[in-house]
């Protein structure tokens, strides 16, 4: 039995899960010295959606963020989440882009690369793993954890063995939705520790309220490392709190030996920081066990709510939640994680909003059914496939085998806008967004998305929901009981007037107040 180490996720998955990846570098740097002194095994600070969010919303150079964090955290391993052949984007890139991206990440300070594939097709992680090893860095192979009639613990063990054979230094169970239960965790960790000689790390989400129990079962069954987030960015669709897990394991054979008081101080810092980002708080906080029955991750639920709101179809949310598992089954039960969560989620929305299921089929679903994201875990629905791609060929090879090297073309396309190879990578990841970012930077026009002042939301919340109104000499008792969402400027409020239900349309909540 040995000590347990901790990877703290606050600076990547913590804020990605709770405030839509909006934490700015300026809010990370002041606390780095203290975080660096804690003795974490690693800090996950980069990758996943952070690259996209830096460019799209924060107008920050993601590479500059990495360099600054490297400088501010000299004593702690920096860790990132890499989506295998999808890197930090949503499509497969050619192998030369994968190798170049990994090399630049290592040059700029990355130590640990957690690499996953949304289909668990190990062919899609091989090039990235080899590239990390070539740079002399830590390659961590991640299993995208899911449950379905075609997934078994034995398959995950086989996958772990394959990734270790490819050169991985550790294996992570990546439970991105919070599907794990404590006993399933114990069983899987035990099977993995028996099967492979490298350390097992556990990454799970707190959505269903099970994460601390899962971590406990993981360490009891031999996990070397657990992933947590500082309490201010823990819970809900995020992770188990770092401070609580340190306290839970204290004085046991699994003790992390981290200083709880030092952690508390860091926790208070983040408590204040989170307030700044209140406008990005998800509507789903606290415990939501629906993920255990629908398999729909919390982050995906909030995305769906925004998609449906934009279509004026928020009332269809429950239908979409029921449709997602059906689409997933039709597609052969892929784990739901970027990009398959978007592929399945968007098709489910289409299926609900159109008269007939699969009346409209997205291009991503067509590509998926042609094998362009990799091998599907189970059989796909042949009727849906025929409808989507007719007699088109389904590829059997690794999807990136069909891609020509891209770097020369990308360099040529971006031209003088790129002042470094890192800039070329910005363009490579997201050609439209990357070009726009580089142009705005050249023209001195980078404007980050504004933050609403702290308290702005609180004021709105305080608008009266029950009041008396006098009209033509008659006094009514009005109680607002809920809002519907049609178009943003025309929101009906459901009210009771003297106890009778009424619908009134007002321009804004402020006007009503
Ligand atoms: C990501 O790909 O961004 C995840 O957090 C899974």
Q: How many other C-beta atoms are found inside a 10 Å radius of the C-beta of residue 148?
A: 16
pLDDT (0 to 100) of residue 495: 37
Cα 509 to ligand 1 centre (Å): 35
Cα 6 to ligand 1 centre (Å): 19
Alpha-carbon distance of 84 to 121, in angstroms, equals 10
Q: What is the mean pLDDT of the segment spanning 461-485?
A: 45
Q: Enter the tokens of residue 122.
A: 């190990």
Measuring from atom 4 of ligand 1, which residue has the nearest CA? 48
Query: Of the residues 53, 81, 91, which should be mutated to test ligand 1's pocket, given the most ligand atoms within 8 Å of the CB?
Result: 81
pLDDT (0 to 100) of residue 440: 98
Measuring from atom 2 of ligand 1, which residue has the nearest CA? 48
Query: Of the residues 7, 10, 12, 13, which should be mutated to test ligand 1's pocket, given the most ligand atoms within 8 Å of the CB?
Result: 13
- What is 10-31 written as a DSSP string? IIIIIHHHHSTT---HHHHHHH
Q: Could you identify the atom of ligand 1 that is nearest to the CA of residue 338?
A: 2
Cα 300 to ligand 1 centre (Å): 11
Cα 471 to ligand 1 centre (Å): 54
Reduced to 3 states (helix: H, G, I; strand: E, B; else coil), residue 73 is coil
DSSP character at residue 490? B
* pLDDT tens digits, 215-261: 999 999 999 999 999 999 999 999 999 999 999 999 999 999 999 99
Q: Which residue has the tokens 């993920």?
A: 291
Q: What is the mean pLDDT of the segment spanning 144-161?
A: 97
Strand order in the sheet with 466-471: 466-471, 474-483, 491-497, 500-506
pLDDT (0 to 100) of residue 347: 96
Helices H / strands E in the chain, number of each: 22, 12
Q: Which residues line ligand 1 (CB under 6 A)?
A: 13, 16, 48-49, 81, 83, 176, 337-338
Q: What is the mean pLDDT of the segment spanning 85-102?
A: 97
Q: Could you identify the atom of ligand 1 that is nearest to the CA of residue 176?
A: 6
Cα 387 to ligand 1 centre (Å): 30
Measuring from atom 3 of ligand 1, which residue has the nearest CA? 48
Q: What is the mean pLDDT of the segment spanning 356-376?
A: 97
- Picking from 383, 404, 386, the residue whose alpha carbon sits closest to that of residue 394 is 386
Q: Could you identify the atom of ligand 1 that is nearest to the CA of residue 16?
A: 5
pLDDT (0 to 100) of residue 466: 53
* pLDDT at residue 297 greater than cutoff 80: no
Write 478-487 long-range contacts (CB < 8 A, 24+): 480/512, 484/314, 485/309, 485/312, 485/314, 486/312, 487/312
Query: Of the residues 53, 62, 83, 117, which should be mutated to test ligand 1's pocket, given the most ligand atoms within 8 Å of the CB?
Result: 83
- Residue 505: band (very low, low, confident or very high) from pLDDT cuts 50, 70, 90: very low
* pLDDT tens digits, 158-177: 999 999 999 999 999 999 99
Measuring from atom 5 of ligand 1, which residue has the nearest CA? 48
DSSP character at residue 238? S
Cα 12 to ligand 1 centre (Å): 10
C-alpha pair distances (Å), 402 with each of 278, 393, 399, 495, 500: 44, 13, 6, 59, 65
Cα 472 to ligand 1 centre (Å): 58
Q: Could you identify the atom of ligand 1 that is nearest to the CA of residue 13?
A: 5
Cα 268 to ligand 1 centre (Å): 26
Q: What is the mean pLDDT of the segment spanning 117-145?
A: 98
Provide, rounded to the nearest whole percent, the portion of the chain with pLDDT above 70.
88
Q: Could you identify the atom of ligand 1 that is nearest to the CA of residue 48?
A: 3
pLDDT (0 to 100) of residue 1: 52
* pLDDT tens digits, 444-472: 999 999 999 987 754 444 444 454 544 44
Q: What is the pLDDT of the chain when averaged over all its residues?
A: 90
* pLDDT tens digits, 56-82: 999 999 999 999 999 999 999 999 999
406-439 burial: b if 16+ Cβ within 10 Å, else e: bbeebeeebeebbeebbbbbbbbbbeeebbebbe
Q: Report CA 355 to chain centroid distance, whole Å.
A: 31
Cα 469 to ligand 1 centre (Å): 50
Cα 91 to ligand 1 centre (Å): 14
């Amino acid at each position: 039995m040995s000590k347990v180490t901790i990877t703290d996720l606050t600076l990547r998955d913590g804020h990605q899960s709770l405030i839509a990846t909006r934490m700015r570098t300026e809010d990370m740097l002041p606390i780095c010295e203290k975080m660096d002194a804690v003795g974490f095994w690693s800090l996950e600070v980069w990758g996943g959606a952070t690259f996209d969010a830096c460019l799209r919303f924060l107008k920050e150079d993601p590479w500059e963020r990495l360099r600054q964090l490297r400088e501010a955290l000299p004593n702690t391993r920096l860790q990132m989440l890499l989506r295998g052949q999808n890197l930090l984007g949503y499509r497969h890139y050619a192998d030369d882009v994968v190798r170049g991206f990994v090399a630049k990440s290592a040059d700029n300070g990355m130590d640990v690369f957690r690499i996953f594939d949304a289909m668990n097709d190990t062919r899609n992680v091989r090039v990235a793993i080899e590239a990390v090893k070539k740079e002399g860095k830590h390659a961590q192979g991640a299993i995208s954890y899911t449950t379905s009639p075609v997934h078994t613990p034995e398959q995950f063990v086989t996958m772990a063995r394959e990734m270790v054979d490819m050169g991985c230094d550790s294996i992570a169970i990546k439970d991105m939705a919070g599907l794990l239960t404590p006993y399933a965790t114990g069983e899987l960790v035990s099977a993995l520790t028996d099967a492979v000689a490298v350390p097992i790390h556990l990454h799970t989400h707190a959505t269903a309220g099970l994460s601390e129990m899962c971590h406990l079962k993981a360490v009891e069954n031999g996990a070397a490392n657990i992933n947590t987030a500082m309490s201010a960015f823990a819970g809900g669709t995020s992770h188990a709190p770092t401070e609580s897990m340190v306290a839970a394991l204290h004085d046991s054979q699994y003790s992390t030996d981290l200083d709880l008081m030092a952690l508390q101080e860091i926790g208070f810092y983040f408590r204040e920081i989170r307030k700044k980002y209140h406008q990005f708080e998800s509507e789903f906080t606290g415990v939501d066990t629906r993920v255990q029955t629908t398999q729909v991750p919390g982050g995906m639920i909030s995305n769906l709510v925004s998609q449906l709101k934009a279509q004026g179809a928020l009332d269809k949310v429950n239908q979409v939640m029921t449709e997602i598992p059906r689409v997933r089954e039709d597609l052969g039960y892929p784990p739901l994680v970027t990009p398959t969560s978007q592929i399945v989620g968007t098709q489910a929305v289409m299926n609900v909003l159109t008269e007939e299921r699969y009346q409209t089929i997205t291009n991503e679903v067509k590509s998926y059914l042609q094998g362009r994201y990799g091998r599907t875990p189970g059989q796909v629905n042949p009727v849906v496939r025929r409808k989507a791609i007719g007699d088109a060929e389904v590829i059997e090879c690794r999807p990136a085998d069909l891609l020509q090297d891209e770097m020369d073309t990308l360099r040529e396309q971006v031209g003088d806008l790129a002042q470094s190879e890192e800039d070329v990578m910005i363009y490579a990841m997201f050609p439209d967004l990357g070009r726009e970012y580089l142009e705005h930077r050249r023209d001195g026009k980078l404007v980050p998305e504004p933050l609403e002042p702290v308290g702005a939301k609180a004021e709105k919340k305080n608008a009266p929901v029950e009041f008396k109104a006098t009209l033509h000499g008659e006094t009514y008792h009005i109680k607002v009981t809920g809002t519907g969402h049609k178009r943003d400027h025309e929101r009906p409020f459901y009210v009771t007037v003297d106890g009778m239900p009424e619908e009134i349309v007002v321009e804004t909540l402020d006007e009503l107040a």
